[in-house]
C-alpha cells in the first residue's frame, strides 16, 4: 500500500505509533497531545483531521481524530491499519446513556456494537453481523479500570447512523430492555474493520448525556473534561 494516502499526509510509517487513540473530534486529539504527551509532533492535518505522535510515560503513542459517523471514521481506521501498519486503535468518544444506572461522566467499554448501518449487508446478506473488540485490549482495560478505581460499565453499545434520529420509541425501549448501555456513532465501523484486517480495537466512552434523565454536558466539556477516560486509554495503550 502506498503512502501518503488521500486522507493522511504522513509519508513515513515510523511517525505513527502502533497504537492510536481516536476521538471523533480532532480538537480533542489536540487537547490530549498537548496535555498528556511529551515530545509531540504533528503527522496529519489534511482535511483538518489532526493527528499527533508523542510519548506517554516514555512509550510512543499516537492520537488522531476520526470524524463523526461510520463512513467517515472507517476511512481513517482502514488507512491506519492497512496502509500505516497500526496494530491497535482505541476509540475514545462520548456517548448517551440508555440505562438508569449509567450516569453522566461514567465510562462505558463496548463489548459489542449493534447498528442499523448497512455497511455489512453485501458481505453477510441477511445475517446481522455483530462485531466485537480485541479480547487482549478488553482485559487490559478491565484490569486498569479496577486499578484506577474508575466507575466503568462493560456492555453492548448502539452505533447509530444518525445523530438527529427519529428512532421509534418501541425500538429504543427494546434496546434498553436488551441491555444496550449507550448510543454513539463509530464503534460498529471500527470493530468491523479491525476484525476484517485481523487487528485490535476497543471502544471506550464517557457518558456526555443521558437519554434517561435528559442531563448533558456542554460542547467544551466534551472537548476537554474527560480526563479519566483519556488516562485509562493511555494506560492501556502503553501497558
Q: Which residues contact 12 (CB under 8 A, 6 or more apart)?
A: 3
What local confidence, expressed as pLDDT, does residue 224 receive? Answer: 63
- pTM for this predicted structure: 0.95
- The catalytic residues are 209
**CA gap 13, 34 in Å, rounded:** 22
Contact 76, 62 (CB under 8 A): no
Q: Which residues contact 132 (CB under 8 A, 6 or more apart)?
A: 111, 112, 113, 191, 195
What local confidence, expressed as pLDDT, does residue 225 receive? Answer: 64
**Cis check: omega of the bond before 4, within 30 degrees of 0:** yes
Segments of the chain with pLDDT less than 70: 1, 222-225
What local confidence, expressed as pLDDT, does residue 167 receive? Answer: 82
Amino acid at each position: 500500500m502506498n503512502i501518503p494516502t488521500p486522507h493522511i499526509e504522513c509519508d513515513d510509517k515510523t511517525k505513527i505509533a502502533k497504537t492510536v487513540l481516536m476521538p471523533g473530534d480532532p480538537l480533542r486529539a489536540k487537547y490530549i497531545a498537548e496535555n498528556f504527551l511529551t515530545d509531540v509532533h504533528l503527522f496529519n492535518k489534511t482535511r483538518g483531521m489532526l493527528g499527533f505522535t508523542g510519548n506517554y510515560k516514555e512509550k510512543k503513542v499516537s492520537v488522531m481524530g476520526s470524524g463523526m459517523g461510520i463512513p467517515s471514521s472507517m476511512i481513517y481506521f482502514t488507512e491506519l491499519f492497512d496502509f500505516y501498519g497500526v496494530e491497535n486503535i482505541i476509540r475514545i468518544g462520548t456517548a448517551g446513556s440508555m440505562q438508569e444506572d449509567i450516569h453522566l461522566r461514567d465510562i462505558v467499554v463496548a463489548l459489542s456494537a449493534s447498528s442499523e448501518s448497512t455497511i455489512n449487508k453485501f458481505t453477510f446478506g441477511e445475517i446481522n453481523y455483530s462485531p466485537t473488540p480485541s479480547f487482549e485490549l478488553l482485559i487490559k482495560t478491565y484490569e486498569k479500570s479496577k486499578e484506577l478505581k474508575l466507575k466503568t460499565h462493560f456492555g453492548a453499545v448502539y452505533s447509530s447512523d444518525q445523530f438527529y434520529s427519529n428512532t421509534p420509541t418501541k425500538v429504543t425501549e427494546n434496546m434498553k430492555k436488551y441491555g444496550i448501555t449507550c448510543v454513539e456513532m463509530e464503534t460498529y465501523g471500527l470493530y468491523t474493520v479491525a476484525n476484517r484486517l485481523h487487528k485490535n480495537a476497543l471502544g471506550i466512552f464517557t457518558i456526555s448525556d443521558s437519554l434517561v434523565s435528559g442531563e448533558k454536558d456542554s460542547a467544551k466539556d466534551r472537548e476537554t473534561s474527560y480526563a479519566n477516560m483519556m488516562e485509562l486509554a493511555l494506560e492501556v495503550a502503553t501497558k
